Chain A
């Protein structure tokens, strides 16, 4: 009997594959054990830092810090999944800044330069190594911004998120709503995959057809998804009633969160990394 249960459990645990996106990874690492508030603080500091740091060296240092954190949290493979999902976005950002850079003349090695005029207006197209640097810096900034958020999501389950927000005096209605979003997203992703399978099974062609037909068929699938989401929303609101959830009434908590020396150490590392990044930004910043 136990063996059978183990097999089923394995199957269910197997449901959490690398392909799953934007959901908590159930591990017991140093990073997972941290107080959610420590991780929120990390996210806030890194979001601010990456939004003003534009030095390639500073960003590269920050990337190494992130890499160390991912290794400690054993979530490196999930970050690769993230990279795979956002690679088109990153490429777009890189190319956008590359193309914009072509129309400005910068210092440094020139790879290609030409001048021409359109209706009497002179234009210079100049591709320098610096344009590649600029594209890479902006792509890396965006990647670090997203990964700071993703690092927290992968290592903090939605119950901990709610507890953390509550301890920061965020109203329960908002904290519960945020937690619910992270509970529901994997459900909706799963529902969409099942609906696609169900529709393909009854003859809807989405594999061997033109891009337009594929797009049209994906739109068709959105209708049952909408019904399923509405139906889930209805069931959840009924369940909230059954559990007597009333946002006007003071709730108590089964679990308490408490910062430990690990949190102090992680916070110190975050602050140190921030200071070093700022120093590197000041010393190695090239205006872009």
Chain B
């Protein structure tokens, strides 16, 4: 069954601006359609219309055009926060909830529960309590509970946004199985990096209008559209976008294998061996040091074991590891939220043990993963300057307004912060630390809810902090971004430090990344497969390394033409 929206327009009240304008979309049967677009483009409103929330629950808006699914058609949604969607203590209870609401007989309910447990390969979870599941497992159970209702259309709203790499892999596998079963699916997410192998069809929205409607391949060839919509694409697509500017006639690719095949055709000067960088001395100039840190919680769970590390002044250090590896526990020790069971933390040589968290925040500040835990001022301007006021740091109004203007928040300065989009809320909490006296800034999953535009701002903020000599510690599951912004990496696994070093040093340690089941960025893998003389950590580095290896006449010609969209 396909679903068609014809000339759909919507506004939340007669006085409100038009949120959707004359939308025409054909959601194809048994295909996976991705709806992409920047924050505020109308994606969420579209989901509300497709799922029937508009006009069933939100009745005051003005809806025109045609979309009528029919009474017997089941359309269901998997949200980005499964804990708000799962009703039931146990996994079986949660999966059965929707089917029970449909009034089916007991035998049919049992049969459907069994069938989704088998389909998603989660039989082993059936006797578990929902509260004990990992993020990925919880999302898989959420998908199962929706599928048990045998929906004609499943809509997934940023289903992996808060998952670690392992959780993402689990959901990718679940979605692949779903696609194989012929389920019609819509994924609403501005990040196509994780779903590139699954998606068939892409609909791009901007300012309430459809600005792109085509196949995934067509979308990946339209660099200007990707940029306009702020869509995060697989790094292979970004590599193609950059290399096509210096290699004329380079065939499009969106996978690593395709990249190797097509780039090699154009390399005239081959290199055969990739040398990995020598390991250097560690922590020559640590501003913040961790000595023999161990942490055991009240229930006996050991979250950290004998951690020794240091964070250098003026560097960006990323902490990598799966959920449960000890990353968050470690940073909560750095800012004093947790007290060590054993070991010490020293800042500029002095122990932090006897200082309160608020006192430590003058030197070491932690920005939490969910901005809503931090925002409480009545407007954006006050929120921006909260840290400065809490810590008694002088600031000028002019300076604050300049920051708001630079990061496109000036028009929202009188807005209630919680009313901003998730990405902007996150940006605001990060910007507020610019007005603090802290020399060490810790960002826990700073990309949550951010589209490409906001990520570019984030990169700018981190570069700016670094240029001022501040130390930035980042916890992120976005590995290509980590390799782009970091100087050093610290890898944790099962509460222990597995390794640390510069990103160039660790990029050569393939077995290390295999051990923690985190994929190295495509750019690193590609430079190894192409046999480049060193490993590139960013797309720009790769471009610089490939440039001398291609026919100079060709590359000059291409540079003169400039990179253009394909197709």
Contacts and interface: CB of A to CB of B under 8 A. Distances in A.
A7 B324 contact: yes
A252 B298 contact: no
B359 interface: yes
Nearest to A10: B301
A244 interface: yes
Interface in B84-105: 84-85, 87-90, 92-93, 96-105
A239 B84 contact: yes
For the side of the interface on A, what is the size category?
A: 35 or more
8 contacts: A14-B301, A201-B368, A208-B358, A224-B372, A227-B418, A236-B84, A238-B79, A243-B87
Interface string B386-398: 1100110000000
Contacts of A201: 335, 337, 357, 361, 365-368
Contacts of A208: 356, 358-359
A11 B304 CA distance: 12
Contacts of B370: 194
Interface stretch (A18-26, A87-95, A117-125, A147-155): A18-26
Contacts of B495: 7
B132 interface: yes
A136 to B, nearest CB: 31
B146 interface: yes
Nearest to A238: B53
For the side of the interface on B, what is the size category?
A: 35 or more
B190 interface: no
- Please classify the interface of chain A as helix (H, G, I), strand (E, B), loop, or mixed, using the class held by over half of its residues: helix
Contacts of B332: 197
Given A201-B365, A220-B376, A250-B103, 12 more contacts: A14-B300, A16-B299, A198-B368, A203-B361, A205-B356, A224-B372, A224-B376, A231-B372, A239-B84, A244-B102, A246-B101, A251-B101
A256 B83 CA distance: 25
A232 B90 CA distance: 20
A236 B495 CA distance: 34
A145 interface: no
B323 A8 contact: yes
A72 interface: no
Contact of A198 (B106, B301, B362, B373): B373
A111 interface: no
Given A195-B373, A228-B372, A241 B52 contact: yes
B51 interface: yes
Nearest to A230: B418
Contacts of B390: 202-205
A185 to B, nearest CB: 12
A252 B359 contact: no
Nearest to B361: A203
A5 to B, nearest CB: 8
A194 B368 contact: yes
A115 interface: no
Contacts of A114: none
A158 B89 contact: yes
Contact of A159 (B81, B88, B133, B494): B88
Contact of A249 (B74, B103, B109, B418): B103
